[in-house]
Chains A and B, each alone.
Chain A
């Protein structure tokens, strides 16, 4: 039986080791080496890449990544919760609405992000329309700022909050809401005191599923931030391409990963306590 299990798991382990653990070990090794003149890496071993991270320029990028990811997550939850609540109570139309939520996945994320650029740029649809209507006289700076990046991230990751929120709200025992009303709680009070606390697992899952990819996002800040709103993802990409500083790129990647793991661990701890 155990031998059989080992055989069944073998493909998974092969994939995990060759495509995940081995590259990770390589990145770890790179991060302690010196950059080569034309990219690549060379000896000697050094901690320099990690020491450079405390430079205020990089700390600012780290901080910006956190707040952009945090704001995007908060907005996703704020928009996703009412939507998930609505879908969970939509009766037999549930699947139709869930289908609509997932519809954007049918088109490439890159294409959808470009579409936002066409909408937001100075000569884009929105600015042209507003100017034609005489609402504004010169184009609004809608593109290439933090707001545009957050908009793009919220747009891209909203389904990832809606789905786990829907899953918990769907399972919520309706008699609990009847009980709340029965005990004198008006609909808003019942929402605050029963529905939201009991959907904590969905809120947590939705927040994790959005915050982590947003923290490491590079496509959206690259296209909608236009290099003005740099996040960690762009920094890492830059080190491996134009800057040709593989050791520093590796170090930043690992620090980002470490932060994410510490966060996940803290959330898991908090979850364990709240269940007691």
Chain B
């Protein structure tokens, strides 16, 4: 696995707080890596450290094996897709895309620009200004403007958050398809767990400036290493020291057979969500637990005494 970007114990301290604290990670060439975390967890600062807009207080950032943390943004072969896209309002789509190419002269500029504009499906809109484009189109101009430079790593700062929810899923699929086709390494920052799980080859979960866990979407979701990671990626019912995801729980009217964990509970309320039903229950010790069941199975009435059961293998355990 060829390592393109490496962060070694990178920290960014401000007088008032520590935005990033000892973050280390490796990105393989061609990988789609996401940094996931709540707002203020330091994920955007980490991205800005890689881009060169901020200088780390400690640690080293290596691109293709050489240190870059002291280089200016214009000296690093990485490129950023900004959250608000930061398109140049006075330039057309074509001029925006060509902005970074001006200096790297060559006869192939025209071809490359045309190719990348085709790739992001903006052909025919080259002479428009950003103000004349829809949100999705602006996002694609921002993407094209960076892709055309063939950066070693493309940095994306919540690029889908400015789009309306209906468009977001569609653009997400396009983004993944484009990444596969161009084979450029993506470092993607988001607070949306669904986005991170669906797009990434691997992801890192950040909390309060620390990287809590790195792994594939399955590893992170199924074997979270901390309570924070478990709760940040989807819902968790806490039963003592053990976590169980709502979809891993079942409801039965009789105590469960051997080999299963089982707890008596009372049905509080059922919420029909279309593809499934969320059942709010209360355990005998008064703690709430949510169970996600199929709408095709049995229905339960509020007040009914039931037993919740689950497989021991589905338990999330933490030291």
Nearest residue (CB) in B for A194 is: B88
Query: In this complex, which of A176, A181, A184, A197 has the most chain B Cβ atoms within 10 angstroms of its Cβ?
Result: A184
Pair B88/A176 contact, Cβ less than 8 Å = yes
- Known A-B contacts A178-B53, A179-B80, A193-B99; the reply to A184 vs B86 at CB < 8 A is no
Q: Say yes or no for A110: interface residue by CB 8 A criterion.
A: no
Query: B5 → chain A, closest Cβ, in Å?
Result: 16
Question: How far, in angstroms, from A198 to B90 measured CA to CA in the complex?
Answer: 7
Residue in B80, B87, B103, B104 whose beta carbon sits within 8 Å of that of A182 in the complex: B80
Give the number of residue pairs across the A-B interface with Cβ within 8 Å. 58
Nearest residue (CB) in B for A176 is: B86
Residue in B52, B90, B100 whose beta carbon sits within 8 Å of that of A183 in the complex: B100
Query: B112 → chain A, closest Cβ, in Å?
Result: 14
Query: B193 → chain A, closest Cβ, in Å?
Result: 26
Query: B57 → chain A, closest Cβ, in Å?
Result: 20
Q: How large is the interface on B (under 10, 10 to 19, 20 to 34, 35 or more residues)?
A: 20 to 34
- Known A-B contacts A178-B73, A197-B90; the reply to A183 vs B99 at CB < 8 A is yes
Pair A183/B82 contact, Cβ less than 8 Å = no
Query: A196 → chain B, closest Cβ, in Å?
Result: 10
Q: List chain A residues, Cβ under 8 A from B74.
A: 181-186
Nearest residue (CB) in A for B131 is: A275
Pair A184/B100 contact, Cβ less than 8 Å = yes
Name the prevailing secondary structure of the A interface residues: helix
Considering only residues 169-202 of chain A, those with a C-beta below 8 Å from chain B are: 173, 175-176, 178-186, 189, 193-194, 197-198, 200
Considering only residues 63-104 of chain B, those with a C-beta below 8 Å from chain A are: 72-74, 78-80, 82, 84, 86-90, 99-100, 103-104
Pair B79/A181 contact, Cβ less than 8 Å = no
Pair A179/B82 contact, Cβ less than 8 Å = yes
Query: B60 → chain A, closest Cβ, in Å?
Result: 21
Q: Say yes or no for B149: interface residue by CB 8 A criterion.
A: yes
Q: List chain A residues, Cβ under 8 A from B52.
A: 181-182
Query: B99 → chain A, closest Cβ, in Å?
Result: 5
Query: B183 → chain A, closest Cβ, in Å?
Result: 21
Q: List chain A residues, Cβ under 8 A from B149.
A: 183-184
Query: A90 → chain B, closest Cβ, in Å?
Result: 19
Q: Say yes or no for B51: interface residue by CB 8 A criterion.
A: yes
Q: Say yes or no for B145: interface residue by CB 8 A criterion.
A: yes
Pair A183/B53 contact, Cβ less than 8 Å = no
Q: List chain A residues, Cβ under 8 A from B103.
A: 184, 189
Per-residue 0/1 for A86-129: is the Cβ within 8 Å of any B Cβ (1 yes, 0 no)? 00000000000000000000000000000000000000000000
Residue in B78, B90, B99 whose beta carbon sits within 8 Å of that of A180 in the complex: B99
Query: B205 → chain A, closest Cβ, in Å?
Result: 26
Query: B46 → chain A, closest Cβ, in Å?
Result: 16
Query: A126 → chain B, closest Cβ, in Å?
Result: 43
Question: How far, in angstroms, from A181 to B90 measured CA to CA in the complex?
Answer: 17
Per-residue 0/1 for A188-223: is the Cβ within 8 Å of any B Cβ (1 yes, 0 no)? 010001100110100000000000000000000000
Sample of 18 more A-B contacts, CB < 8 Å, known A178-B86, A184-B104: A173-B84, A175-B82, A175-B84, A175-B86, A179-B88, A180-B99, A181-B53, A181-B72, A181-B74, A182-B51, A182-B73, A182-B74, A183-B74, A183-B146, A184-B100, A185-B99, A185-B100, A194-B88
Closest CB pairs A-B (n = 8): A183-B100, A179-B86, A181-B73, A175-B86, A182-B80, A197-B90, A181-B74, A184-B74
